[in-house]
A and B are shown apart, each in its own frame.
Chain A
Amino acid sequence: MKKIIFLAILAAMMLQGCKTAGQHSADASGEAKKEAKLEMDPAKLFWSNGKGMGNCSACHAIPADTSGKPAGNMGPPMIGMKDRFPDIAKLKAAIADQKAFSPNTMMPPFGRNKILTPEQIDVIAQYIYQY
């Protein structure tokens, strides 16, 4: 009986181990790829979709940008940002995890789920802060 319990615990530990090992290797290769071409141009991050990008324009428009790029309207437009967010830290926190402020939002938790790095969130916040 003891042997079985021991085996079960060992198996559970190994299972956890292989899970984290799997995650680590996946994260490591993902990070390596990200590091190789981590996008830091805020305009590209804002307007482009796909992996490694911000996808911001899928939901948010910049009315002052008249270049004609398609932008969604599911989220509020990027306008009067300094008035709406006198403290830019709050804007960064919203990009990182808007669910913390609005539980039914559909805005992805870019920081919490590591979709963007803190540095990328910084440059995006600076970029939209001018509008």
Chain B
Amino acid sequence: MKKITLAFLLACSLPVFADPIVGYVDTAGYEAKTPEATLKAIQDFFHQKFPEVKGDAFIDGSMNWSEGERQYDKFMTGRMHDDFDAPVGYPEVIAEGKKLWETPLPDGKKMADCFAHGGKGAANDYPKVDEKSGKVITFERALNDCRVAHGAKPLDYGDMKKGMGPLSDIARKLSDGMRIKMEIKTPAELAAFERGKAVFYGRTGKFEQACANCHIQHAGEVARSEELSPIIGQAAHFPVFRQDKKTDGLHLVTLQNRYKGCQKSTAADKPIKEGSDESNDLEYFHTYISNGLPLSSGIFRK
């Protein structure tokens, strides 16, 4: 009886990490068989949809066609640089990130010691796949591995004030301007790409919507009052600062924190979590689709 009770309790407390996928959206890239063909199909789709948007311009997302979005970003970027107002939240987060990057870890080593060239360009070596486990290792995971290897506690991937958010922002800044150069060759890498692709095209939550609905199929259209950006270029410019409607200040959002936000807005019961396998797989696929584009961290985005 004890065993049964135990099994019952265990079964009820099994964690569910994300809403299940309940079908796929067959839009550009879905039916392509390889990473290269997927990327090409998505690029072709957007070159046809936005013939005026070329090359690096894709990192500017909807600002390419919306004057309103351009103005909004211009004013808010001005605020970030203290043109006319000291924004709430933003300086504290930058200071926290610098502290996390520069303060020596318990054994005396610094974060910069964990990476070649003191961390310059390090973010561009990720996400990558660990051949042994087949799991995707993000740059944020590498930052946490570094902390743990030198005696510190890992940071919470979902903490945008005192956790991984601020550290990621500062550490990624050292790779600004470098171009994404992902190659997907080994079976483990191909498998990770396919898993991430399934998350992107997979319908989930009560609304049964997929990332691909908004960011391929309907990119360039308007959801209520928001312009939808194309998938190409998105992964190249995170973390971002966004306007905090409560404080009228700015708050930091990492790429994976944004995934969670997207799923919250589309009524997922259990939005995808920062640092989870699903989120890491999605980041792997997502980053590949921005191949060749330059990285930038800590910029303002609506």
Which A residues are within 8 Å of any B CB, using their own CB?
Answer: 7, 10-11, 14-15, 18, 22, 49, 51, 57-59, 70-74, 99, 103-104, 106, 108-109, 113, 115
* Contact assessment for A113 and B11 in the assembled complex, using a CB-CB cutoff below 8 Å: no
- Inter-chain contact B8/A106, CB cutoff 8 Å: no
CB-based contact A73/B4 at 8 Å: no
Alpha-carbon distance A109/B23, docked complex (angstroms): 13
CB distance from A95 to the nearest CB of B (A): 13
What CA separation (Å) do A115 and B206 show in the bound complex?
A: 7
- In the bound assembly, the distance between CA atoms of A113 and B213 in angstroms comes to 18
Decide if A7 touches B224 in the complex (CB within 8 Å). no
**Hey, which chain A residues are within 8 Å of B27, CB to CB?**
104
The CA of A99 and the CA of B286, in the complex, are separated in Å by 26
- For A108, the chain B residues whose CB sits under 8 A away are 206-209, 267
In chain B between 260 and 288, which residues have their CB closer than 8 angstroms to a CB of chain A? Answer: 267
Are A11's CB and B224's CB within 8 A?
no
**Does B224 contact A58, Cβ atoms closer than 8 Å?**
yes
Chain B residues with CB below 8 A from A70, complex form: 224-225
Main secondary structure of the interface of A (DSSP, over half): loop
A74-B7 Cα distance, complex, nearest whole Å: 47
Number of interface residues of B (CB under 8 A): 26
CB distance from B31 to the nearest CB of A (A): 12
Q: Which 10 residue pairs of A and B lie closest in terms of their CB atoms, listed nearest first?
A: A106-B213, A108-B207, A70-B225, A15-B11, A11-B7, A58-B224, A72-B223, A74-B218, A74-B221, A18-B12
A59 to B214 Cα, complex, angstroms: 11
Instruction: Decide: A10 near B4, CB < 8 A? Known: A104-B27, A108-B267, A109-B208.
Output: yes
Chain B residues closer than 8 Å to A57, beta-carbon distance: 224
* B209 lies within 8 A of A106 (CB): yes
Residue of A nearest to B209 (CB): A106
Q: Say whether B3 faces chain A, with CB atoms less than 8 Å apart.
A: yes
Q: How far is the CB of B186 from chain A (nearest CB, A)?
A: 32
Quick one: which of A7, A72, A109 contacts B221, CB cutoff 8 A? Answer: A72
Using Cβ atoms and an 8 Å threshold, which residues of chain B touch A7? 3-4
